[in-house]
Amino acid sequence: MWRRRSGIDGRTLARRLGCNKQGFSPNHKGTLGQEKKPRPSAREGCKATILVKMEKTGKWVVTRFEKEHNHPLMITANGFNTTGDKDKKIEELTMELAHQEQLCSAYREKLFAFINNVEKQTEELSSKIEVIVDNIRKLEAERQRFTHRSAGSLGL
Ligand SMILES: [Zn+2]
């Protein structure tokens, strides 16, 4: 993996993640004049690469993204390319999924309980608000009556 570091504080400023077939194998060409067959895993000059760099703001940005490989892609990571491992992985993922679904329904129940609670509180609140509005109306009527009476007594 290639990276560029800051000369000041040694922070990583840029990073390139390339395909493991990027570049050419050092023994791709016969060094002593004899032709060597490249190994299947040899580097093939693949240009697939992601180039990221850190901006002055501290945000990482992708400056270059080359997604085209010049070779077929093979799943070799973590050795999950054998059938037994794959089955095991699928089993693990299935179990994980079931677990997530359980969690999900638990959350759903909690959410419904919460919503019910909110609805109940909203009802209570709206009945309280009705009372307040009612009181305000009464006060308003009272005030108007008072104003009229004052105006009347002043001969207006
Ligand atoms: Zn590649």
Question: pLDDT for 63-92, tens place per residue?
Answer: 888 888 888 776 555 544 555 676 777 677
Rounded distance from Cα 90 to ligand 1 centre (Å): 26
Rounded distance from Cα 24 to ligand 1 centre (Å): 12
Which tokens in the block code for residue 23?
């570049």
Which tokens in the block code for residue 28?
């791709």
Residues 6 or more apart in contact with residue 139 via CB below 8 angstroms: none
Rounded distance from Cα 13 to ligand 1 centre (Å): 24
Q: Are 25 and 42 in contact (CB under 8 A)?
A: yes
Rounded distance from Cα 69 to ligand 1 centre (Å): 4
The pTM for the full model equals 0.33
Residue/partner pairs of 118-126 with CB below 8 Å, 24 or more apart: none
Helices (H) then strands (E): counts for the chain: 1, 4
Rounded distance from Cα 75 to ligand 1 centre (Å): 12
Rounded distance from Cα 123 to ligand 1 centre (Å): 62
Residue whose pair of structure tokens reads 């009372």 in the numeric block: 131
Residue-wise pLDDT for 28-70, tens only, equals 444 454 455 545 555 678 888 888 888 888 788 888 888 888 8
Rounded distance from Cα 23 to ligand 1 centre (Å): 10
